[in-house]
Amino acid sequence: MADKIWAHSGDSHFLEPDDLWQQILPAKQAERMPRSEKVGENEEIVHVDGKSFHRKLPKVMTAKGDDGLTIYELSVRPPGTRDPAARLRDLDQEGVWGEVMYSSIGLWSSMIEDPQLVREAAHAQNEWLVSEVQDVAPDRLVPAALMPMLEVDDAVRELEHAAAIGLKIVSIPTGSPPGTDDYNHDSWEPLWAAADDAGMVIGFHIGTDGTDQATAYRGPGGAVLNYVDTTYGGQKAAMKLVTGGALDRHPELKVLISEGGATWVPFIGDRMNEGYRQHGMFVRPQLSRLPKEILFRQVYASFQHDESAPAALWAMGYHNVLWGSDYPHLEGTFGHTQKTLHELFDDVAPEVRQRITRGAFEELFPHVSAPPA
């Protein structure tokens, strides 16, 4: 149709097969990988590497809405959630062309204590991502590589492997794994250097701090408070890479913060500058550019519905605003993508729409083809 708006998505997801490890790992390793067994309404037993432990299920898998479904159940209903061919039909219908795709099982790595097992699983999963996901439509689907993060050397090697097999972005949790330094510390420098060398985008998807972020608040307004709370981890990850000096040392390194919104970037930029200047005598390291300049140039951020996001670009000078569908999740636009895109872009200048729906994404991923005219 003539008025269809095509957009790339800086934030999408897919769901792996339940027997992924059996498919891609030798049997002896596959049986050591985490496996969940639901017991009762709110609890699961996790079996991992010969041990088992009970834990409460995340709230998104237990709290039921008016229709009796959980957020998790509502988030895996679209046809293309698991099936790449069905997915492309969904995307075409919605008007989404290229998309960054995050795995759904990325958090398993923090449950395994054996770095070798994590390393080999990430290696195998990234091979699978190329052959079973990216290769289905290599000019559109941009799956994010999993990283073994227990030891920085492992992360470096797997990043190099991911780049060698053609992946373009690595997914890193917003919270560094237990036992490792925070991302502002120099111990992570080899990883940033490797990403810079490989031209690999660093992707942080919000909600990966490593805690059950749906339970921080209780009582009136809790659902909305918990929803908003998930954004802060992405802001903090970006700030750590700016203030710790990583992005200053690697001026070509690019970071994507997915699903956290975009209007926070000018805010955090100004706030970092204020701290950097007013508390200047306490600031280490000194940077070669102001923190806001580094943030604006090297950090990209995706939003779904935020009506203020285009103005972050045209009125506040932040050019790295990406739209994202969050397909197939409940927080995303599946089923109303065209309505959302028209509300966002019908009244803004064509170059602003172009930059947010296509330009910023294509700068990160120049191998992605152009949407239909």
Does residue 314 interact with a second copy by CB under 8 A? yes
- Reference 226, options 105, 66, 58; nearest CA is 58
Token duo for residue 64: 């039921």
Minimum gap (Å) between residue 87 Cβ and a second copy: 21
Stretch that binds a second copy, among 28-36, 87-95, 304-312, 357-365 (CB under 8 A): 304-312
Q: Does 274 bind a second copy (CB under 8 A)?
A: yes
Q: At its nearest, how many Å lie between a second copy and the CB of residue 170?
A: 22
* Residues whose CB falls within 8 Å of the CB of residue 338, separated by 6 or more in sequence, listed in order: 4, 5, 94, 95
Cβ 204 to a second copy shortest distance, Å: 16
Rounded CA-CA distance 13/69 in Å is 20
Cβ proximity of 323 and 333 under 8 Å: no
Asked whether position 166 contacts a second copy by CB under 8 A, the answer is: no
Please report how close the Cβ of residue 287 comes to a second copy at its closest, in angstroms: 9
> In whole angstroms, what is the distance from residue 221 CA to residue 278 CA?
36
Q: Name which of 339, 269, 346 is nearest 305 in CA terms.
A: 339
315 binds a second copy (CB under 8 A): yes
Binding span for a second copy by CB under 8 A among 9-17, 25-33, 159-167, 182-190: 182-190
User: Is residue 65 part of the contact set for a second copy (CB under 8 A)?
Assistant: yes
Contact with a second copy (CB under 8 A) among 35, 73, 227, 297: 227
If one counts every other C-beta atom within 10 angstroms of the C-beta of residue 238, the result is 30
Q: State the binding string over 240-259 for a second copy (x if CB under 8 A, else -).
A: x-xxxx--------------
The dihedral over CA atoms of 295, 299, 300, 306, expressed in degrees to the nearest 10, equals -40
349 binds a second copy (CB under 8 A): no
Q: Is 92 helix (H, G, I), strand (E, B) or coil?
A: helix
Q: Which of 33, 71, 117, 169 binds a second copy (CB under 8 A)?
A: 71
State which residue, 303 or 345, has the beta carbon closest to a second copy.
303
261 binds a second copy (CB under 8 A): yes
Q: Which residues bind a second copy (CB under 8 A)?
A: 63, 65-67, 71, 181-182, 184-186, 217, 219-228, 231-232, 236, 239-240, 242-245, 261, 263-264, 266-285, 291, 303-309, 311, 314-316, 330-332
